[in-house]
Each structure stands twice: as C-alpha cells, then as structure tokens.
Amino acid sequence: MAQASTISKSAPALTLSGISKSFPGVRALHQVNLSLYPGQVTALVGENGAGKSTLVKVLTGIYQPDEGAITLDGKRVTLSSAQTAFELGITAIHQETVLFDDLTVAENIWLGHAPRKRFGLIDWAAMNEKARAVLAQMHAAHIAPETRLRELSIANKHLVAVARALSIDSRVVVMDEPTAALSAKEINELYDLVALLKSQGKAILFISHKFDEIYKIADRYTVFRDGEQVGEGHLKDTAQNELVKLMVGRSVDKVFPKHHAKIGDVVLSVSGLSHPTEFENISFELHKGEILGFYGLVGAGRTEVMKALFGMTKPSAGTIAMDDRPLAITSAEDAINAGIVYVPEERGAQGLGTGLPIFMNVTLPSLKRTSKSNVLRLKNEFDLARRYTERLDLRASSLSQDVSTLSGGNQQKVVIAKWLAMSPKVIILDEPTKGIDIGSKAAVHEFMAQLVAEGMAVIMVSSEIPEVLGMADRVIVMREGLVTAGFENKNLQPETLVRAAAGIE
Amino acid sequence: MSSETIQHRHLPDRLDKPLSAALRSWETLLAVVAVAIFIFNSFASPHFLNAWTLSDMTFNFTEKAIIALPMALLIIAGEIDLSVAAILALSSTLMGFAMQFGLGTPALVCVGIIVGLICGAFNGALVTGLGLPSIVVTIGTMSLFRGLAFIILGDQVYKNYPDGFEYFGQGYVAWVISFELVLFLAFAALFGFLLHFTTFGRRLYFIGRNPVSAQFSGVNVKRMKFILFCLTGVMSGVASVLLTSRLGSTRPSIAQGFELEAITMVVLGGVAITGGAGSILGVVLAALIMGLVTFGFGLLNVPGIVMSIFVGMLLIAVIALPILWKRFVWVLKK
Amino acid sequence: MLNTLLKSRESLLAAAIIVLIAAVATRFPGFAAPSSLAQAFNDTSILIILALAQMTVILTRSIDLSTASNLCFTGMAVAMLNKAHPELPIVVIIVVSLLWGLALGAFNGLMVWKVGIPPIVVTLGTLTIYRGLTFVLSGGAWVNADKMSPAFIEFQRQSLLGIPVLSWIALLVIAAFWLFLRNTKTGRDIYAVGVNPTAAVYTGIDVGRTKFIAFCISGLVSGLAGYLWISRYVIASVEVANGYELNVIAACVIGGISIAGGVGSVAGAMMGALFLGLIGLALPVINVSPFWQLAISGAAILVAIILNARGEKTKGRLILKRATAA
Amino acid sequence: AQAENLKVGLLVKSLGNGFFDAAHKGADNAAKELGDTEVIYTGPTKATAEGQIEIINSLIDQKVGCIAISANDPDAVVPALKKAMDRGIKVISWDSGVNEKGRLLHLNPSDTGLIGETIIKLAADYLPDGGEVAILSAASTAANQNSWIDAAKKVLPEKFPKIKLVDVVYGDDDSAKSTDVAKGLLKAHPNLKAIIAPTTVGVVAAAQVVTDAGLIGKVNVTGLALPSEFKKFIDNGASQAVALWNPIDLGYSATQLCHDLTVGKAEAKPGAELSIGKVGKIKLDDHNTAAMAPPFQFDKKNIEEFSKIY
Ligand SMILES: Nc1ncnc2c1ncn2[C@@H]1O[C@H](COP(=O)(O)OP(=O)(O)OP(=O)(O)O)[C@@H](O)[C@H]1O
Ligand SMILES: Nc1ncnc2c1ncn2[C@@H]1O[C@H](COP(=O)(O)OP(=O)(O)OP(=O)(O)O)[C@@H](O)[C@H]1O
Ligand SMILES: [Mg+2]
Ligand SMILES: [Mg+2]
C-alpha cells in the first residue's frame, strides 16, 4: 500500500483541466478535471449520460473540447485528430465496437501504423507477424491474423480491439466499458491484461458500471454527474455506497428488489424449437407473473432463440403456444400481435430509429392505438410517450430530442418505454442492463418487478450472474445452442450456473 | 427503491416553436428560390407573365414530378429506382401493342398502369426477396425494361391512339389549367397526406433511418418496400399514359433520362438521399423550380444544356447553403 | 480449396467470361482467337480504367455519377487545345487531360469533404454542370477528326511489342490501382472508410479527406479517359459518353464491388468491365438483332448481381456441434 | 431586331452538329436577304423528341411567326406542332420530316428515291464484281434515314443485282456507339466490301474504324458526309466517294419558305410551286412534300474545294 501512495504522488501522465464540451442543446462536459497516473488504474464512474464517453472522445482527439487544457507528461498538447492522440500514445477501446468487419485481424490491429517496406509500401508479411506476436502476448494466439474480422465471435472481436491498443507503445490506455460484451472467462483475461499494462507503467482510465470489478482492478476513482466532476479519490478509502451516492445524488439500496408476484398459469410454452445452425430442441414453459432467466456464456445462442420467438428468424422445427393455443409466428408483427415483445441486445442497431425524435420511437409499435384509422394524432403520441418515458425517468431535454443524442442508458429506456406502451403479455429482455448505470439498473429491475406484479411474464436473458440470481424465479442455462440445465432460483449458487454454462460436470 | 424518491422530470413536447421551425425549414428556402426565379423570369422575358406561357411551362415538369412523388417515398425509405424511365417506355410500348387489338382508352390506361405495377413489383421482388441493393437492381432493370420495349417495337412506331386518349396529355380541365397539372396536384396532395399524416408514412421514416430496428419494432419492412416499388411502378405507368398521350405516339426510346431528372427533383426538394428525411411539399416546390428554370431560360432561347448547368449548381448550392449557414452561425456563437 | 475458389467472386466471374467467350466461339470461331481477344481487351480498355476509378470511389461508400461528364468535358478541352496548337507534344495533352480531370474530381471531393454534401447529390449536380460547361467551352461546336493532329489520334493506336498503346495504358492503370489499393496507407484507408466510417474516425483516418482523395483519383482517371475516348472515336462533342456513367457503375456492380462500400477488388472491377464489354462486342458478332442487345445486357447485369449476392451469403455461425459437423 | 421583325424558329435535331450549323449559316443568309426576318436557331442538346417539344412550347410562347423543324421523331412532335398551328404559327419541316398532320409542308433535302439509289450506287460504283455491303444508320427512329434505306432496298434487286445487303445496324448518331457497331459489322461479316452510312456522324465513325483495322482498300466506306468533316478519309483512301446536298442551301430555303408562308406570299397546297430565293423553285407533291436538289457527290477531285465551304 505504501507503494501505491508513492506512485500517486508521482507526476500524472495526463491531466485534463477545465474541459468543457457542448452539443446543440446539451452540455455534455462542464469544467471537468481529471488526472491519470502512470502505473495506476483510474475508474471513471457516473450515470448514463454523465459524459464519460464524451470525455473519452475528447481524450482521443475525436471531439475537440470547447475549452480547457490537456497536459501530457507536463507538456500541453492539442489533440486535433484521432491520429494525433494515437501518435502521442493515447489509445482507447471505445464503448461501441469500432472495428472493420471486412478487413483482416492484422489490419484491424495495424491500420494507420502498419509496418512499411521500401517506397512506403505496406509490408503485409511483417504486419501479420507482428499481429501474431501481439495476440500471443494477450493469450489470444487462437486468433489468426489473416482471418477476416467478420468471422470472429463478438468476444474475439473485442480482443482484437484490445490488441490494437497494445500494438503501440502507449502512455495512456482508455477502456470504455470493455467488459460489457465479454463472458466471465474473457473478463478475467482482460483483468490480467490490465494488470500487465499497469506493471508496464501505463496510465489507465477504466470506465464501468460494475462496482465489483472497479474495486477489483482500479486504484483511484473519479465520479461524473451531469457532465461535472463531483469527486475523486482512492478507492481503498471509499465505500461503494458513497460512490453510488456521489454518482446518483441519492442512495440506491435495492438493486434487486424483492418481488412477490403470484406465479400463475402457463402463458407461453415452447417445445422442440430448433434452428439449422443456431440452436436445437429448446423447450420451456413460462408462467404468468414469472421472471424466467436465461443464463449462458456470450454466444450460447440465447439471443437467437429469442429472435425466433419474436419472429425475426425462422425456426426449422418446434412449436410455440400461448395460453395453450398454438402460435404461427413468422414476423415480428405476428409476435407483437400475440403479445410477445422483445427488447433487443443491440439497442442502437436494433432498437432505435436513430435520427428520429424520442416520441416517435416510443409510439412506433403503438401507432394503431394513437392514430385514428391510420391517420396520425400527434397529441395522443406525445401523451403516450410522456407517460412511459417519465415513468422510466428518462433524461432528455424534450420528447422531440433526437434519440441518437441520448446516452446509452437513456436509449435503452426509450426502447423499454416503447414496449411497455404495448402492455404485452410476454416481454423478452435481452441483456436489459448491459451498459446501464446502477440507478437505472435498479429502475429497470424495479420495473420488471412491477411488470410481473401486473401479471406479465418476463424472459430475461442475462450474462450477469448477480442479476440472474437477484431477479429470476427460474433459470434456464444454455450452452452451444442447447439447453443444458434448468433451476428453481432457491439457494442457487453462482458456481452451479457457471458450471452448467461452461459444460463442467 | 420507492417511487416517491424519484422526482420525475417533466419532458416538454418540443423545445422550439413549430412556427420558427417552419420558417427555418428547407421548404421556406425553396419557396424563396422559386419566387426569386419567378421574378427574374418576368423581368427577363416579356412573354413570361402570360397565362398560356405559365400553363405551357407546367408540361416541362408534370410527368417527371408525378414520378418524383413515389420516388420521394422510396428514397425516404432508403431505396432508389433508376428504372422509372425504362418502365415508362415499356408500359407505353405495351399500351401501343394492346391498342393494335382495338382496346379503347380506359382499357389502354389500365394496361399502362398494370405494366407499371408489374415492373415495379419485379424490382420490388428482387430488392426485398433477394436482399439486393436497389441501385444495383434498377441499373439492371433499366436496361432490361427498355430492352424489352426495343424487342417489341424495334424501329417501328405505335400511333393513332383512340379518340379521347389525347386528353390525358393534351387536355385542359378549365381554361389554361391542364389535366396533367390537376392530376399532379391531386397526386401531390395524396402523397403528402400519405407521407405526413398516416402511420404508413411514419413507418417509412423509420425504415429509412434504420430498417433493422424498424423490423424489430414490428414494421414489415420488406412488405412496405415492396409496396413502394409497386407504387413507383404504378406512377411510372401513370406518367407513361400522360407522356404517350402528349406525344400521341410510342417509340421505345421515349423518356430518356427522366430518372435522373426525377431524382434531381426529389433531392432538390430536400429529401435526404440517405433516407429518413424529406417532405412532399419540398418535392413539389423543387419540381416547380425546375420548370421555372428550364422554361424561363427556354423563353430566352438559352440552350437546354446551359440551363442544366444552372439546375446542377442550384442542386449543389441549395444543399450547401444551409450547411454552410449553420456552420457560420455556430462559429459566430463561439 | 476448390470450395473457396468456387466461392470467390473473381473466379466466378472469370468462369462467366470464359463461358461467354466459348459460347460466342461456337457460333463464331474467330472470336476466341488470341488476336481477337487482344482486340477485345483493347476495346474495353477505357471501360476498365473508368471502372477502376469508380471502384475507388465506391469503396469509400460514395459514388461518382460525374465520370462520363468529366470525360466529355476534359476530352473537349484537350481536343480544342490540340486543334488550336497541333504542335504540342502528346505528353502535354496527356498531362493537361490528367490535370483537367483532377480539377473536376477535386471539386466533387471538396464538396463532399469540406461542405459535407452527400456524394450522389454532388455528382448528380456536376453530372449536368460538367457537360454544360463542355457546351459553354466549345460553343456547342464539335471537333472533328480532321481538326485533330495525327499524333493526337495515332498515339493510342501505335503498337508496342505487338500490343496497342491503349492496352498498355490500361495494363499500367490496372497495376497502379492494384499496388495503390493494396499496399499503400491511403489505399487501405479507402477500404477502411467504406467498411466502417465511424471506426475509421476512431482510428484516426480523416474520412472526408480520404473521400476527397478517391474523388481526385476518379477525376484524374476520367480525365485521362477523356483524351483516350476522344482520340479513339475521333470526335469531340457535347454528347460524348452521355449516360456512360451507368455502364461504368454496372461494370463495378458485376465485378462484385459492394455499393455499400469497403468490399471490392481490382480484379473484380477489371473483369466486370471485361464481361460487360465482351457482351457488347459479342452480340453483334453472333448476329443478335440490335433490338435485343439492350435487354440481353440488362438481363446479364441482373444475373451477375444475383450470383454475386448468392456468393456473399454467409452461412450463419454454426454454433451447434451437429451443424458444424455436417 | 425590331419588334415587328418576323421571327423564324429554326429547330434542329441537336445543337453542335456540323450539318445543322451549316444550315444555320444558310438561314442567317436568308434572313439578311429578307431584311425583316430574325432567325432563332435552337435545338435540344440530346436528340430527343421530348427535348424538341419543350422548345416548341417555348417558341410558341415567344410568339414566333414560323417554326421550321428537323424532327427527331416524325410522330411524337406532331401534337405540339399542331398546338403551334392552332395558335397561328406556320410550321414546316425540313431535312427530317414530320407527319403531314403536324406541318404545312416538308422540304426534303433531296428526292428520297434518289438518295436511296445514290447511297447504293456510291458503293456499287467501286464494286464491279459485286459483294456484301452493310448499312450503318443513325437512330432506328430517324425518319429520313429509314425512308432512304427503304428506297435503297427497293432499287437493289433490279439495278444492283450483284450487291448483297447483309445487315442494317444503328449507331444512334453517337460516335462511340457507331464505332462499336461498325466494329461488330467487320467482325460479323469478314467478306464485307462496303459500309454505307447515310448519316454524317456514322460515316466518320465507320471510316475511322476501317482506317484503324487496316482495311483501307478492302472495305470502302461511303454514305452521306460533310466534306469538311470527311476530307481526311477521302484523302487516306478509306472512302472513295460520298454524297450530300448543300446544308447551307437547305437552311436558306427553309427560312425563305417560312417567310413566304408567314407573310402570305405563298400557300402550301399540293401542286403549288414555291420560290426558294436564289436556290430556285420547288414543287409540292400530293403530300405537300418537295425536294430541294439532287445529292451531290464528293470524291478525290473536288473534296478539297468543298471542304472549305461546309
Ligand atoms: N454527438 C452528440 N450530439 C449531441 N449530444 C450528445 C452527443 N454525444 C453525446 N451527447 C450527449 O452528451 C451527454 C453525455 O453522453 P455520454 O455518451 O458521454 O454519456 P456516458 O457517460 O458515456 O453514458 P453511458 O454510461 O450511457 O455510456 C448525453 O446527454 C448525450 O445525450
Ligand atoms: N461472430 C459473429 N459474427 C456476426 N454476428 C455474430 C457473431 N457472433 C454473434 N453474432 C450475432 O450477434 C448477436 C449476439 O451474439 P452473441 O454472441 O451474444 O450470441 P447469442 O446468440 O446472442 O448468444 P447469447 O445471447 O447466449 O450470448 C446474435 O444475433 C448473433 O447472431
Ligand atoms: Mg458511454
Ligand atoms: Mg445475446
């Protein structure tokens, strides 16, 4: 511990002072200060929309701050472009995966600083070789540098993003929610990597909504609220609820509210559902008032099953019945009419009409109700949208704000509001709190509790064990496209789930 | 967490007033441009301010504008149809072909529209059924459809359309108000209503912005796109009736280059080529502007190609100005 | 191995070309003779280099509708230059055509980069503007063969090692594009920008600048094609290559260049152009009625893109053991 | 130009074509002679009927006295021309005709039958043993080309039995397309002895193709050509001879006719004999059609001289 304090007294590698950044109508950052120290991990926490990702973009030269100064190793620098930041040794793993699907792994790692031959021509052989070395260093030798990125799993893609950050001798490494898309094993590998970077004396900024991991790997913290820096310090001196209080402005005590809904009859029964390449023989029943958790490692095929239930992919065999009546679901429209709705995993790509206002997004599936014989009624739409967005405590300037300017968590709220407005019978939530801050997480969970209390049935796909254990009544575990186990959530131990998901007997 | 502890923030409907938003809109800019050209024309040519001249002017754009209307919806939904002119030629050819069997005017109109529908459905099926990009598909079908017209008609001509058929392209509803103009305005109102006031129109914007999420929200994206291609085909058929009637004859080479002019109208009208934004009013104003420019310059005997420089510059300038202006204001604020 | 070969778009296309040649040869044996094929390559040279230029733009998720107008304008400019100064050496003509084309391409690029207008809109505008300017420049008059100097006309027809200079130029351009797109930083940036523009920004690539460069290249090559076209068809008029931009795009599409950007190869573009060119050359030879030719090439384009799309369909992830084994 | 001036709209197939530019020269000469006439030389950029109709409408609204059109399509422009006549404008066609309903009279540059015969004769004169010939035309819709080709086909069997017409192809008066189809002709018909191109654009393209293919002396290119544009190919031997009428005279005559019809000096009815100024007189046939002059032949002997004129 003594060592840690001497390091913290050493000069910061990077200092941001008085940084502000505004977008039309939004003040994303206001006079924030932040210091990153070599060999230390600083955790940046804050609610959705607090300005964390904006800060990352300022740090990596993607956005230019309206005011403020950036000092790197005691020298003032201007990060006029992403290239400049990169050349100065600031690298980042961004919140959205920002890679090139149609380029090879090696190129994804080396794009922009590829090894050159004579006449400045790119040396492909050297590039592949160096990529292999970087990947080996990260224990990811199973990824061949020559493969097209498109062919990798999402987790492996993430590793490539990390490899890119390691491919130069960086001073500062920024990670914006790097574990949101990873499964337990990969998360642990990532922690090892962070430790390695730390030991190499790099300054690390780590953004996460998961407090357990923050406490596990970070040394210092900085808290943002509404674009302002509201606190910083050493984690070892700070308790978790203090952090939460700083973040949210109030205490959040029940992240997993107990719900006491009466579990009723079977609403949905699925039997023998199969798909040629993604899953096989999936059978389960879902009861009224029940939260059914689907657990598995990332890539286990849960999303594909849910997409089939929602009519987005065509199963090759099997039946779906609701209230004992068989359902023929061939499109999302059918599913919605039957009372099944789906909050997808990738909210930007699958959940939102980016560029369109909040209220239109919320009312899209409800248009039949808000319109009169297909003629729009704007007032009805605003009323409906307001009712549900306010219930979810959406942070926005108005109902006409473009959803693409909302932070990730608030975007998720818009998607949920859209489906709540439909009063469905079955609501499928795929990774509902991925990338969502603790306050909103509690709100979403609270909502799930309310939903089942109102007699709805909920399927919750989640890769987070605490969430599964905290919320689900029953848990189904999937692995490689098959259901491997089912549990009542009574005295269920995390290890049991992990074993079932990983296939360890 | 109990709900009393949360203070719900009230979300207003919108921040800016509807009126000020309208004043700053694209359509206002277009209207100003149209008025300016109108005034310029009235000074430049002594013949311009004349009811018949203005009436003749409308023939320069009505047929293309009738195609531009569904094209606007199609582009808003993120697709495009380059084959419209070829559809027009094929449907005109088949109308002529049908005429040889003694079909009367109403039947010929049906033939024209149905051929348009079939062609549109063919495009739509290729785009939605096989998931091919529409720009690519319609580059192929523009050769195919016109090629079929050439196969049928070769170097021949169909003429002597039945009595009454000439009304569509040459008739006047009242005084100088031509049938084509009335039809165009009626369709403009219809498409405007469809796009801006119905659930169909609303869904279009979503499809244009993000087709995947629209699908995840229960919008039947493929069916809607298919309908739009059919609609574009049908309207090309309608335009075909008008043009055939106006020319009184059919050759496979008619309506060359109409597709780019219709698309120019749509884009000039403020419809985002990337999909998801645009209005019918804008398209109507753009059609009017193109008519004013081409006919006004025609009265001065400026060669058509020189006008096209003007139209091209107008297209770029009208799209560049708001962007530059916004940037300028932003810099001033700082 | 065979499987991947079969799947690759380029080999499919190569096969299609061979089938096409063979089919024509059954009805007209002379068509497959080496000299005739070399001739066909020469005839398709201009389309090939235009397709390569267009591909570069399409790779960045843009499109250049103004290539044919650029070609027309530049061609007229150099033809008039030649008419006024027949003594100027051909090098000067070529340099002028390159620079003239470059300037026109740069204008497109600047509008896209600095003003932020979508490429299709800019080039839809310049499509008419450049052709209109040709009229203004020439006053509408044509420049005919007899007004052009012999050197101007004959340069591309001279033969070097038995191959016409025009074919050499095409080969040179193909090689240059191959090297540029594969082995230079800018070339790779062009792909990256098309694959994922957001990621490109995050990687420090200036997306606007990269598009600008692509448009400059397109303009440069279109300018060169302008001189080649005019000296080949020995007439410069406002109507030169009217509507040809769609042929060029069709060639790219047949060559498997994804209109959504980021996917496409030099070999693909080249073969797409060859395929389209060969159809145009073959149909009259085997005595297909001229009235059938348009429909046939339309159908060929459709078949090609449908096949391309088939090749592109991914098989899914095969997470099931059973499916993986099968 | 005073307001009282009589305005004549000289509407051509497309602008920039050397043939029509020459006709424009003639029209201006006529206007100068007449004194009270003003010529509006106009035409679409692309040779389409739609383009011509837009111009017809604008000529109507400019209140011209007469429209003299060389039409891209003999039928499609008829309704627009009828409208012009309804509004009191005299309409004549020249060079490429319009259907009877759409004009008062049509001035053929020459006699259709004669042109048809001439273009075949030009080829036959240099083929004493006969052989295969092919025609490279303009657009498949071009009325004048089509009528000449028909006339040519008619005289073939009786007057030129040894000449075999193997193909008719269309280059759309587009130099690139004409080049491509000419190439196709040479490939498809290895024994071809002559290409007949009754269009000034096509004939140049065909001659260039023959030159490039090294077939000078083997394949003779002939047809209708402007001497100024074609001199090169007579000189290099790709062509032995071509023919054409004088486009300057044609423009001149059309303008004269327009003027006379508008001021009421002449009336268009079958059998009428009308003066065309210094060019002479024409006589209208049953379809109100008249021919201006026989086609004139250019070869090695006279091309030099005429290439300086048009
Ligand atoms: N390009 C933009 N235009 C307008 N507003 C923006 C833009 N980018 C971000 N914002 C706004 O800036 C604020 C900060 O967003 P930011 O993405 O930095 O939040 P965050 O802290 O990363 O949230 P999360 O935890 O959900 O990722 C939000 O209110 C967001 O709506
Ligand atoms: N390598 C990949 N390439 C393309 N798409 C992928 C890839 N991996 C996963 N996907 C798709 O992304 C989505 C989410 O993938 P994910 O890895 O989460 O698998 P999943 O099927 O959702 O399994 P689970 O939900 O159990 O994690 C799915 O629609 C899946 O088809
Ligand atoms: Mg963020
Ligand atoms: Mg998933």
Average confidence (pLDDT) over B228-242: 96
Ligand 1 in reach of A440 Cβ (< 6 A):
no
CA angle B158, B164, B169 (to 5 degrees): 70
Rounded to whole angstroms, the Cα distance separating C124 from C101 reads 17
Would you call C176 an interface residue with chain A, using a CB distance cutoff of 8 Å?
Answer: no
The pLDDT assigned to B49 comes to 87
Q: Which of A293, A284, A285, A287 is nearest to A262 (CA)?
A: A287
Share of chain C above pLDDT 70, in %: 92
Q: Which of C136, C159, C235 to mutate: most D Cβ within 10 Å? A: C235
Q: Is residue B317 part of a domain?
A: no
- Entry pTM: 0.89
**CB-CB: which of A107, A120, A277 is closest to C316?**
A277
- Using one digit for the tens of pLDDT, what is the confidence trace for A151-201? 887 778 888 888 888 888 888 999 988 887 677 777 888 888 888 888 888
Is residue B28 in a domain? Answer: no
> How far is Cα C221 from Cα B221, in angstroms, rounded to an integer?
40
Residue matched to tokens 């009625």: C289
- Asked if A288 and A264 touch (Cβ cutoff 8 Å), the reply is yes
* Nearest alpha carbon to residue A95 among A150, A27, A144, A46: A46
- Mean pLDDT score of chain A: 85
Residue ranges per domain, chain A?
2-248, 262-339+425-505, 353-423
Q: Tell me the mean pLDDT in the region D35-61.
A: 89
Per-residue model confidence as pLDDT tens digits over B247-257: 999 999 899 88
The CATH number of the structural domain formed by A2-248 is 3.40.50.300
Nearest to A277 among C182, C204, C317 (CB): C317
Give C324's pLDDT tier (boundaries 50, 70, 90).
low
- pLDDT above 70 covers a percentage of chain B that reads 96
- Give me the pLDDT at residue A299, please: 76
Residue C325 scores a pLDDT above 60: no
pLDDT-wise least confident of A129-133, C6-10, D46-50, D282-286: C6-10
Q: Between these two residues, A359 and A465, which has the higher pLDDT value?
A: A359
Hey, what are A439's tokens? 């306050």
Q: Do B309 and C132 touch (CB under 8 A)?
A: yes
Q: Give the lowest-confidence range in B101-105, B181-185, B199-203.
A: B101-105
Structure tokens at D198: 């009754």
Report how far apart, in Å, the C-alpha atoms of A306 and of each of A278, A313, A462 are: 11, 9, 12
ipTM over 0.90: no
Residue A97 pLDDT > 80, yes or no?
no
What are the residues whose beta carbon lies below 5 Å from ligand 4 (ion)?
A: A 303, 345
A350: nearest CA partner in chain B: B213
Residue nearest to atom 13 of ligand 2 (CA): A303
Maximum Cα–Cα distance across chain C: 75
Res B123: pLDDT: 96
CB contact under 8 A, B303 and D42: yes
Total structural domains in chain B?
1
Amino acid at A461: V
At B209, is the pLDDT very low, low, confident or very high (cuts 50, 70, 90)? Answer: very high
Instruction: Tell me how far apart the alpha carbons of residues A401 and A361 are, in angstroms, rounded to a whole number.
Output: 11
Ligand 1 atom with the smallest distance to the CA of A437 is 25
> The tokens of D78 are what?
């008829």
Closest CA to D179 of D147, D213, D148, D146: D213
> Residue A17: helix, strand or coil by DSSP?
strand
Q: Which of C247, C198, C274 has its CA nearest to residue C14?
A: C274
Residues of A in contact with B9 (CB under 8 A): 390, 393-395
Lowest-confidence pick of C62-66, C210-214, C229-233, C304-308: C304-308
Chain A CB contacts of B5 below 8 Å: 250
DSSP structure class, residue A458: E
Measure A435 CA to ligand 2 centroid, in angstroms. Answer: 17
Name the residue facing A278 among C201, C205, C320 (closest C-beta): C320
Instruction: Find out whether B78 and B211 touch, Cβ atoms under 8 Å.
Output: yes
pLDDT at B239 over 50: yes
* Domain locations in chain C as residue ranges: 7-325
Compare A381 and C284 and report the one with higher pLDDT: A381
pLDDT tens per residue across span D154-202 = 888 888 888 899 989 988 888 888 998 898 899 888 899 999 999 988 9
Burial of residue A101, with CB atoms counted within 10 A of its CB: 0-12 exposed, 13-18 middle, 19 or more buried? middle
Same fold, A2-248 and A262-339+425-505: yes
Q: Where are the alpha helices (DSSP H) in A138-251?
A: 154-166, 184-199, 211-217, 240-248
Helix (H, G, I), strand (E, B) or coil at A53: helix
Among A62, A153, A276, whose Cβ lies nearest the Cβ of C202?
A62
Average pLDDT, chain C: 88
Residue B241: which domain range?
52-300
pLDDT at residue number A443:
79
Residue D278 banded pLDDT, cuts 50, 70, 90: confident
Ligand 1 in contact with A46 (CB < 6 A)? yes
Q: What are phi and psi of C118, to 5 degrees?
A: -60, 140
Would the pLDDT of C323 be above 60?
no
Q: Which of D142, D14, D177 is nearest to B155 (CA)?
A: D142
Q: Could you say which DSSP state residue A375 is in? A: B
Which atom of ligand 2 has the smallest separation from the CA of A307?
Answer: 29
Angle formed at CA D295 by CA D291 and CA D298, multiple of 5 degrees: 160
CA dist C126 and C65 (Å) reads 8
Name the closest residue on chain B to residue D61, using Cα atoms. Answer: B53
Q: Cβ contacts of residue A268 below 8 Å, gap of 6+?
A: A285, A286, A309, A320, A321, A322, A340, A425, A426, A457
| pLDDT value of position B2 | 37
C-alpha torsion sign, points C201, C203, C205, C206? positive
The answer to whether chain A touches chain D by having 3 or more C-beta pairs less than 8 angstroms apart is no
| CA neighbours closer than 13 Å in the CB half-sphere of residue B176 | 10
**Which range (A43-57, A83-97, C80-94, C309-323) has the least confidence?**
C309-323
Q: What is the mean pLDDT of residues B95-103?
A: 91
β-strands B249-250, B158-159 pairing: antiparallel
> What are the chain C neighbours of B146 within 8 Å (beta carbons)?
294-295, 298
- The Cα of C178 is separated from the nearest Cα of chain A by a number of Å equal to 12
Q: What is the pLDDT of residue A308?
A: 92
Percent of chain C with pLDDT over 90: 53
Helix A438-453 / helix A240-248 crossing angle, nearest 10 deg: 90
The CATH code of the domain that includes B204 is 1.10.3470
Domain C7-325 CATH assignment equals 1.10.3470: yes
The answer to whether residue B187 sits within a structural domain is: yes
Query: Is pLDDT above 90 for D127?
Result: no
- Closest ligand 1 atom to A54 CA: 18
pLDDT at D1: 39
pLDDT tens digits, residue range C135-164?
999 888 888 888 888 889 888 888 888 889
Cα R_g (chain C), whole angstroms:
21
Least confident piece of the model among A254-258, A333-337, B265-269, D244-248: A254-258
CA distance A132 to D43: 67
pLDDT, one tens digit per residue, over D210-221 is 998 889 989 999
Q: How many CA atoms lie within 13 A of B206 on its CB side?
A: 33
Q: Residue B171 falls within a domain, yes or no?
A: yes
Q: What is the mean pLDDT of residues B197-226?
A: 93
Mutate to test the interface with B, among D57, D63, D144 (most CBs of B within 10 A): D57
- Is residue B37 domain-resident? no
Q: Using the 8-state DSSP alphabet, how is residue A404 labeled?
A: G
Average pLDDT (C120-146) is 90
Please tell me the residue having the least CA distance from ligand 2 atom 27.
Answer: A298
Q: What is the pLDDT of residue B76?
A: 96
Q: Which ligand is nearest to the CA of A436?
A: 1
In a mutational test of the A interface, the residue from B212, B217, B224 whose CB has the highest number of chain A CBs within 10 Å is B217
Query: To the nearest whole percent, how much of chain B has pLDDT over 90?
Result: 58
**Which tokens go with B35?**
């008025």
- The two three-digit tokens of residue B228, written as one number: 């739009």
pLDDT digits (tens, 9 = 90+) for A309-330: 999 888 888 999 988 889 888 8
- Residues in chain C with CB shorter than 8 Å from the CB of A99 are 196, 199
Q: What's the rounded Cα separation, in Å, for the pair A298 and A159?
A: 14
Please report the DSSP string for chain D in residue order: --TTSEEEEEE-SSTT-HHHHHHHHHHHHHHHHHSSEEEEEE--SS--HHHHHHHHHHHHHTT-SEEEE--SSTTTTHHHHHHHHHTT-EEEEESS---GGG-SEEEESS-HHHHHHHHHHHHHTT-TT-EEEEEEES-TT-HHHHHHHHHHHHHHHHH-TTEEEEEEEE-TT-HHHHHHHHHHHHHH-TTEEEEEE-SHHHHHHHHHHHHHTT-TTTSEEEEB--HHHHHHHHHTTS-SEEEE--HHHHHHHHHHHHHHHHHTS----TT-EEEEGGGEEEE--TTSEEE----EEEETTTHHHHHTT-
Q: Which residues in chain B are closer than 8 Å to A354, comparing Cβ atoms?
A: 209-210, 213
Query: What CATH topology corresponds to A262-339+425-505?
Result: Rossmann fold (3.40.50)
**Per-residue pLDDT at B204 exceeds 60:** yes
Predicted local confidence at residue A252, as pLDDT: 64
Alpha-carbon distance of C210 to B263, in angstroms, equals 27
Among A490-504, C304-318, D124-138, the minimum mean pLDDT is found in C304-318
Task: Provide the Cα torsion D215, D216, D221, D227; round to 10°.
Answer: 140
Pairing of strands A203-207, A220-225: unpaired
User: Which pLDDT value is given to residue A25?
Assistant: 67
- State the pLDDT at residue A251: 64
Greater model confidence, C1 or A415? A415
Q: What's the pLDDT at A3? A: 43
| pLDDT beyond 70 at C318 | no
Q: Is A70 helix (H, G, I), strand (E, B) or coil?
A: strand
When pLDDT is averaged across residues D284-297 and rounded to a whole number, the result is 84
* A302 CB within 6 A, ligand 2: yes
